[in-house]
Structure 1
Amino acid sequence: MDAKMIGSKIAGARKKINMSQAGLAEHVFVSPQAVGKWERGESMPDIITLNQLTKILDVDLNYFSETLSSLNNTREVEQEIPEVNSVTGSEQPQLLTNFSGNELAKTDFAGVIAHNLKFNGSNLRGSDFTGADLTFSSFLGSDVREANFQGANLTDCNLSATDLTGANFDQAILVRTKFYALELAGAKISNTKLTAVKLSKTDLRKTIFENCVFEGVDFDYSDLRGLSLDGQTFIGVLFHNAALNETTFKNAILKNVSFRSTFALTNKYYRAIKTICFEGATMDKLTYASLKGLGADLAQVNFV
């Protein structure tokens, strides 16, 4: 694994599209100093960040193929021996659980009950997971555009560096589900309760949320600028380090919700908080006090 070679490739692709180190850093939620270290070969981004970089720098996976191969070495060895998992119900047959790297576009998985499935680097575009129980399954670096997860059980699932554009999560079971560095433009999450879900480094600006309850959810480093969260319920939710400019919480319910940055509170952060709309929102006194201290406009807020 040649860190200097990878750093040179990052720098070359970045300059080709006329992007600054600071601009690239903002896209992948790291500091400009971290990008500088990558380009000097002093450190390397992890595999998930490399997948992000291919989209941002407009290069394909082969651009970093040598590095991805090295980083995936452990995973590939693990995949040499197919895993077998019992499907719920003694009358059901044994199923292979490793579907990584497979061409599975528009495949019918509706109603399947199988845990610990692996869909890493797979094409699942338009596949149907309606009502499937996929507990503990993983989707890493896969194409899952326009897939249907309506009513699917995604408890303890890991979805990382995966394209979920236009995916449907209506009435999905989302408990401790991890969403990391995803593409969720046009994806719809509706009529569901998100419990202890973590949405990290994910662009949510074009994601559609309708009739949802967020309990113990962490929006760590995610981009929610201009997002409508009107009428939703938030309990014990963290918006730490999230981009919230022009986000709206009209008629939403907020209890024990934290908007604090874990870093220094800058003037830029205070200005962003002031752009959030809480018109008609209902919140507890502690959430109110926290937002008041950050200068939020709370003129039309109600108390629980």
Structure 2
Amino acid sequence: MEFDGDDLSHAALTDRLSPEETHVFRGCDLTEADLWGAPLAGARFESCVLDQTDFRKADLDGAAFVGGGGMRVRFNDADLIDATFTDVDLSSAQFGGALLTDTVFTGCRMIGAALTASRGTGFKVARSNLTLANLGGCSLRGEHIEGVRFDDADLSGCDFTEATLEDCRLIGTRLLNTTFAKADLRGADLGQPDDAKLRALAGAVINQFQANAILAARGITVL
């Protein structure tokens, strides 16, 4: 079933969607639409307005979101295995309990998004803004993470073991019980190297410039 430019705001859509079809939404207004538990495996959303859209418990396995987006989209407990989000505004989106195995976020605005308590073996993120996001307990183990802003984000309990952070920012980031064992942080802006951050970065690989900045902050000059 295809929806093209339809105003579906506030609509209850789940019962209108057949699990036997692949659904496409182009340029639709889905503001506060009810898609709770909807059969949306392989669905495609292009440039849709998603303000407070309810995707809780929806089957979005392999779904693709391209452009568009909105505030406070709810993906709680949804199946997002192999789903892709490209250039989507996901500010303050809720992903608690969502299954994010091999989910890919590219070029997304995820300011204040909540991914804590999400499930799965790990997701991918690149060229995205996760300022003030909460990723508590998420696994990004072994991932190559490029161009991501984690400024003032909560990464408590996250696993970055053997991950590579390239052109990323960790300014003001909360790193309580975060693991960076064997992570390559040479391409990351580590921000203010305080004692709490240094404890979290134990086992990580950094470059000479970063090491000098850490020592300089403690009054030590390297010649």
Q: Identify whether the pair has TM-score above 0.5, normalized to the shorter chain.
A: yes
8 A Cα contact 1:229 1:250, kept in partner = yes
The alignment partner of 2:21 has SS state of strand
Within-5 A mapping of 1:179-194: 179-193=105-119
1:118 aligns with 2:37: no
1:132 aligns with 2:86: no
CA distance in 2, matches of 1:276, 1:175: 33
CA distance in 2, matches of 1:193, 1:218: 20
8 A Cα contact 2:169 2:190, kept in partner = no
Q: Which amino acid aligns with 2:178?
A: A
Higher relative contact order (CA 8 A, sep 6+): 2
1:172 aligns with 2:84: no
8 A Cα contact 2:19 2:39, kept in partner = no
Within-5 A mapping of 1:26-65: none
The alignment partner of 1:99 has SS state of strand
Residues 209 and 113 of structure 1: CA distance in aligned 2, closer, same or farther (over 3 Å): same
Q: Of residues 4, 28, 31 in structure 2, which corresponds to 1:105?
A: 31
1:226 is displaced (CA, Å) by 3.2
8 A Cα contact 1:184 1:203, kept in partner = yes
Structure 2 spans left out of the alignment, 5+ residues: 5-17, 216-223
Residues 116 and 207 of structure 1: CA distance in aligned 2, closer, same or farther (over 3 Å): same
CA distance in 2, matches of 1:271, 1:170: 27
1:244 is displaced (CA, Å) by 2.4
1:135 is displaced (CA, Å) by 1.3
Q: Of residues 159, 164, 182 in structure 2, which corresponds to 1:256?
A: 182
Structure 1 spans left out of the alignment, 5+ residues: 1-78, 81-91, 262-268, 299-304
Residues 246 and 144 of structure 1: CA distance in aligned 2, closer, same or farther (over 3 Å): closer
Within-5 A mapping of 1:60-79: none
1:278 aligns with 2:204: no
So what's the TM-score if we normalise by structure 1?
Answer: 0.57
Residues 194 and 219 of structure 1: CA distance in aligned 2, closer, same or farther (over 3 Å): farther
CA distance in 2, matches of 1:216, 1:108: 36
1:216 is displaced (CA, Å) by 3.1
- 1:41-91 deviations in Å (ceiling 9; x for gaps): xxxxxxxxxxxxxxxxxxxxxxxxxxxxxxxxxxxxxx99xxxxxxxxxxx
1:273 is displaced (CA, Å) by 7.6
| Number of aligned positions between the proteins | 198
So what's the TM-score if we normalise by structure 2?
Answer: 0.75
Q: Which amino acid aligns with 1:214?
A: L
CA distance in 1, matches of 2:65, 2:190: 37
The alignment partner of 1:188 has SS state of coil
1:192 is displaced (CA, Å) by 2.3
1:109 is displaced (CA, Å) by 1.5
1:188 is displaced (CA, Å) by 0.7
Identical counterparts, % of pairs: 22
Residues 196 and 260 of structure 1: CA distance in aligned 2, closer, same or farther (over 3 Å): farther
